[in-house]
């Protein structure tokens, strides 16, 4: 399993090894033994499977606040996405900055998004499926988000001038400037 740090401390790009033969392949997509030296002790408690039919579907930017803050390990089972993590830890030297990576069924990479980051994706192929491993259960009362297109973030979503497909909830998310200090940089 290859683990690579990104331009912002916290998120990690993870590429599991794939062993192929005439039958197909096998891959160890998660191993506490390999990831805990990078991330620390983890306990995943929930898996989410997401499907997006149209290209240009944007989900995010989402996060949950304590005590239900979530770390996420995201991988693509079918298709391709642009995956974004935004640092929302007040006092962080990278507060409001983001990293964006392409995840696909073909490149077999995964993104670790720790608590203290907002997370969003944009589909780059039709009929894209993603699997998220989560460190905390979903809680509607603790769910928050920031606007996917907030100019303060400078995220260049690869939607190529087309209108994104968004949920009503995601259309109404506030900008970063109004975000309370849910997370503090330590």
Is residue 76 domain-resident?
A: yes
Is this model's pTM higher than 0.75 or not?
Answer: yes
Is residue 151 domain-resident?
A: yes
- Which pLDDT does position 160 carry in this prediction? 82
- Which pLDDT does position 115 carry in this prediction? 98
Between CA 155 and CA 85 the distance in angstroms is 10
Is residue 127 domain-resident?
A: yes
Is residue 16 domain-resident?
A: no
Is residue 27 domain-resident?
A: no
- Which pLDDT does position 134 carry in this prediction? 98
Is residue 12 domain-resident?
A: no
Terminal alpha carbon distance of the chain: 28
DSSP one-letter string for the chain: -EEEE-SSSS-EEEE--EEEETTEEEE----HHHHHHHH-S----EEEEEEE-STTBEEEEEEE-TTS---EEEEEEESEEEEEEEE-EET-TTTT-EEEEEEETTT--EEEE-TTEEEEEEESSSSEEEEEEESS---GGGEEE--TT-TTT------TTSPPB--HHHHTPPPGGG----EE--
- Proportion of the chain above pLDDT 70, given as a percent: 100
Between CA 47 and CA 156 the distance in angstroms is 28
- Which pLDDT does position 108 carry in this prediction? 95
- Which pLDDT does position 186 carry in this prediction? 83
* Residues recognised as catalytic: 62, 132
- As given in the structure block, the two tokens for residue 87 are 């640092």
Is residue 4 domain-resident?
A: no
Q: Is there a contact between 127 and 20 (Cβ–Cβ < 8 Å)?
A: no
How many domains, in total, are found in the chain?
A: 1
- Which pLDDT does position 151 carry in this prediction? 97
Q: Which domain holds residue 73?
A: 43-184
Is residue 98 domain-resident?
A: yes
Tens place of pLDDT for every residue, the chain, 186 residues? 999 999 999 999 999 999 999 999 999 999 999 999 999 999 999 999 999 999 999 999 999 999 999 999 999 999 999 999 999 999 999 999 999 999 999 999 999 999 999 999 999 999 999 999 999 999 999 999 999 999 999 999 999 888 999 999 999 999 999 999 999 998
Residue (of 143, 161, 11, 120) closest to 66 by Cα position: 143
CATH number at residue 106: 2.60.120.10
């Amino acid at each position: 399993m290859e683990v690579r740090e990104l331009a912002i401390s916290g998120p990690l790009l993870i590429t599991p090894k794939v062993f192929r033969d005439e039958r197909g392949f096998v891959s160890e997509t998660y191993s506490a033994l390999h990831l805990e030296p990078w991330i620390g002790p983890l306990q995943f408690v929930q898996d989410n499977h997401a499907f997006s039919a149209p290209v240009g579907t944007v989900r995010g930017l989402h996060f949950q606040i304590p005590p239900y803050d979530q770390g996420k390990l995201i991988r693509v089972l079918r298709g391709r996405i642009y995956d974004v993590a935004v640092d929302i830890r007040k006092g962080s030297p990278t507060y409001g900055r983001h990293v964006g990576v392409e995840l696909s069924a073909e490149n077999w990479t995964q993104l670790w998004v720790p608590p203290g980051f907002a997370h969003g994706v944009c589909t780059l192929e039709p009929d894209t499926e993603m699997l998220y491993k989560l460190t905390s259960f979903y809680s509607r009362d603790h769910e928050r988000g920031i606007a996917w297109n907030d100019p303060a973030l400078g995220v260049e979503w690869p939607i190529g001038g087309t209108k994104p497909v968004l949920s009503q909830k995601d259309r109404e998310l506030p900008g970063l400037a109004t975000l309370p200090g849910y997370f503090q940089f330590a």
